[in-house]
Structure 1
Amino acid sequence: MWDRQAVDLLDLLVHPVRLRIVFAMSGGQTRTTSDLCTQLPDVPKTSVYRHVGVLADAGVLEVADEQRVHGAVERHYRLRGERAAIGADVAAAMSLDDHRRAFAAGMAAVLAEFNAYLDRPGADPVADQVGYRQGVLWLGPDERAKLIDGLRSLLREVVDNQPTPERSSHLVTAIFFPATPP
């Protein structure tokens, strides 16, 4: 069995709304809870506020700044990326049901993000080069490792890009698993 902290991290992060908040906070920018409500219009505001509080209490989000606005304190949050990921040690200790639950939550979050994109005025999947293809690759262990390392290297080149007027955020989801038994 693994430690309580790992179980808590898994329970914390394996929730579709919290995953979407983590996605929205990625990239180094700060956001208020009100900003997140605007970015996640399909999620009730009370849910966004509650899940931001849960993530902040767990140290996944930290307060970067506070400002008094109309008599209330408005907090600007920043993602603590090192606290927002399930590491290899926790993943190795997860049960098959834990992996099933994590995958389902991740897919639910991706589906919600895609629906939110399609619901935006002017959404144009062709012009935006939206992709959602699935294919089978025949790979040996070394070839699979080389492919994954190559993809990680490509993503590392752009993962620290900061927002600019020319850039918009894009959600990238990579899923690898054997399609047939060995």
Structure 2
Amino acid sequence: MEIAEVVMNPVRQRIFQYFLLHEAGTVKELKRALPDVPNASLYRHIKVLAEHSILTVVGENRIRGTVESVYQLNKEALATEDEGGNAVQMSLLSICASFARYFAGDDVDPKRDMLLLTNCTLLLTDEEFSGFLSEINEIALKYMKAEANESSKMRQITLISAPTNEQR
């Protein structure tokens, strides 16, 4: 399994997101953060992430004769060279597959589900674009840290930046 396949799984993306927000965590803490994920699935996904060195064990908690592992995101494992763009292509295919599954469903209602697709072209310097990305990151982190409640719905947001073919 290639790194793109490992990370592009929706549950593993949520685990990955948890560790982006938290320095470290245990399976027990992940269960509280992802209550809709069955225990067996959660353990299986953590195992996959650990086998691919995306999560590493950084500590242990001894609790009544058992050992609870403390995991941390291994950011170095994700800093891979991808000159051929395979990871990006896998990500785009995963997004397309997600939309295809949605539209193939029986209860499709883009208005009710607040489906959003927007595209714009920005004319910014690298410094301005970096500032733009920082602002978006701050907003995303604010909402990623929000506690879920009974009326919360899971929504996936993807931001893709690509150069245009036009020369300026």
TM-score range for the pair, normalised by the shorter chain length: 0.5 to 0.7
Alignment of 1:139-150 (within 5 A): 139-150=124-135
Please, what is the CA RMSD of the aligned residues?
3.3
Structure 2 partner of 1:96: 83
Say whether the 8 Å CA contact 2:3–2:52 is kept in structure 1.
Answer: no
Of the candidates 110, 133, 138, which is equivalent to residue 125 of structure 1?
Answer: 110
Residue 175 of structure 1: how far off its partner (Å): 0.8
Alignment of 1:13-52 (within 5 A): 13-15=3-5, 18-20=7-9, 21-25=11-15, 26=17, 28-29=33-34, 31-32=37-38
TM-score (norm 1): 0.58
Aligned partner of 2:49: which letter? L
Residue 150 of structure 1: how far off its partner (Å): 0.9
Aligned partner of 1:32: which letter? P
1:81–1:108 CA distance, 2 compared to 1 (3 A): farther
1:54–1:165 CA distance, 2 compared to 1 (3 A): same
Structure 1: stretches of 5+ with no match in the other structure: 1-10, 37-48, 63-79
Structure 2 partner of 1:41: none
TM-score (norm 2): 0.62
Give the whole-Å Cα distance in 2 for the aligned partners of 1:107 and 1:84. Answer: 22
Aligned partner of 2:130: which letter? A
Aligned partner of 1:175: which letter? I
1:157–1:117 CA distance, 2 compared to 1 (3 A): same
Aligned partner of 1:167: which letter? S
Of the candidates 68, 73, 83, which is equivalent to residue 82 of structure 1?
Answer: 73
Give the whole-Å Cα distance in 2 for the aligned partners of 1:114 and 1:103. Answer: 17
SS in 2 for 1:175: coil
Structure 2 partner of 1:46: none
Give the whole-Å Cα distance in 1 for the aligned partners of 2:106 and 2:39. Answer: 23
User: Percent same amino acid at aligned positions?
Assistant: 15
